[in-house]
Amino acid sequence: MKGRKLLMIPGPIEFEPEVLQALGMSTTSHVAPDFIEVFGNSLELMRKVWKSPKGQAFIVSGTGTLAMDMAAANLIEQGDRVLVISTGYFGKRFKDILDRYGANTTILEAPLGEVVPLEAIEKELKTGSFKALTITHVDTSTGILVDPKPIAKLAQKYNTLSILDGVCSVAGEEINQDEWGLDVVLTGSQKAIGVPPGLALLMASEKAMEVWKKRKTPVCNYYADWNNWLPIMTAYEERRPSYFGTPAVNLIVALETSLKIICKEGMDKRVKRHQLLAKAFRAGITALDLEILPKTKQIAANTLTAVYYPKGIDGAALLSKIASSDVIVAGGLLSEIKTSYFRIGHMGSVSSNDLLAVLGAIERALLELGQNIVSGNSLQAFQNELLRSN
Ligand SMILES: *Cc1c(COP(=O)(O)O)cnc(C)c1O
């Protein structure tokens, strides 16, 4: 018994050994030539992962929420209208952040398990000048995937900035920032990017940077202000030393390592792997007579799956049984239904072996709790789906 645990929550995830090794190196100066090279490389590699050759990349210490805060603080001024398209908990968080900066927000909330129809978005945009709209690519509370492409197109039609919360999607779901015309795509290090928690990562379009430069009022957040960070990003990219706030040296070394692993696999292949494994995993879940939260497969995320507990099963007991198999999954997050579902993360380094272990643990736990299912069915469904797709 090695006492290994499999961490299958929607962030932090299982990290590649090379990434963890990079984290453990001797800390260097943030202006050492080697580190300047690592920082500069990381900014360049981000553009490949985001598919944003023209984007302005930011790497700042903080969590994904700081990246959301940074987008709002820099792009929004008092009274600006912002349309929030929400598919769960993190949509509402974006509204809270925007409201704090004095935005005049309108929130379009999708019914549980669904997405907001494009027509409803266009109807709102038609009513007047929205400075920006926000989209949660994958809402981690519901496992719902939103297609950002047509929404970004609508945003362009109505001269509105599009801001994508990609915390649970960047480096896992398909993103093509420049081609789709997304103005901001942001994430945190601990999700599909595959680096321990602590980095806020953001890519801004040329248009977003123009809008920021033309602000009439100062940014109401000292730490998040791009006036402080843009010269730092420019300096690292030009391989010059600079300082505003001490960067998280070890985390950035780990980030470069992970971005290299991601680019070596290639984003297209990586997205395919996520799609394939997610599809097979859903087949396994369905074979256990379990129901997933998204109402259709087309809007089910490829980075995590949200699953309802079966009738008559105590959720806490199920999670504790799964944990006793050394598989860690997450409980519910959306307050209205928090105790009626659980979530499994499958992003980043995830493999078919991991998901077989998860299905095995869930299946065994259900059988132990007296659920009337056939042992092995979910594993068979998973295998068949993978074989079919190969
Ligand atoms: C995790 C997550 C966040 C928040 O990120 P933190 O790093 O926890 O601050 C925001 N949005 C989405 C979609 C997320 O999955």
Best CA proximity match to 39, nearest among 251, 265, 261: 251
pTM metric for this prediction: 0.98
- Looking at residue 281, which CATH number applies to its domain? 3.90.1150.10
- Residue 101 domain-assigned? yes
* Domain housing 360: 267-389
Spatial distance between the Cα atoms of 5 and 325, rounded to a whole number of angstroms: 8
Number of domains comprising the chain: 2
For residue 52 and ligand 1, the question of a CB distance below 6 A is answered with: no
Largest CA distance in the chain: 65
Does one domain contain both 69 and 200? yes
Does one domain contain both 255 and 371? no
Spatial distance between the Cα atoms of 109 and 127, rounded to a whole number of angstroms: 17
Does one domain contain both 248 and 296? no
Q: Structure tokens of 125?
A: 């945009």
388 marked among binding-site residues: no
- Residue 7 domain-assigned? no
What is the crossing angle of helices 352-368 and 377-389, to 10°?
160
For residue 167 and ligand 1, the question of a CB distance below 6 A is answered with: yes
Does one domain contain both 35 and 92? yes
Spatial distance between the Cα atoms of 225 and 99, rounded to a whole number of angstroms: 17
- Residue 4 domain-assigned? no
- Looking at residue 232, which CATH number applies to its domain? 3.40.640.10
Does one domain contain both 44 and 167? yes
What is the model's pLDDT at position 1?
A: 55
Is the alpha carbon torsion for 53, 59, 65, 69 positive or negative? negative
- Residue 11 domain-assigned? no
Closest protein CA for atom 12 of ligand 1? 167
Does one domain contain both 209 and 173? yes
Does one domain contain both 239 and 277? no
Best CA proximity match to 80, nearest among 136, 130, 21, 128: 130
Dihedral of the CA atoms 349, 262, 303, 64 (nearest 10)? 110
Does one domain contain both 243 and 146? yes
Mutate to test the pocket of ligand 1, among 13, 60, 61, 65 (most ligand atoms within 8 A of CB): 65
Last residue of a domain, one of 265, 294, 324: 265
Spatial distance between the Cα atoms of 274 and 270, rounded to a whole number of angstroms: 6
User: Which residues in the chain come in under a pLDDT of 70?
Assistant: 1-2
For residue 247 and ligand 1, the question of a CB distance below 6 A is answered with: no
Does one domain contain both 281 and 357? yes
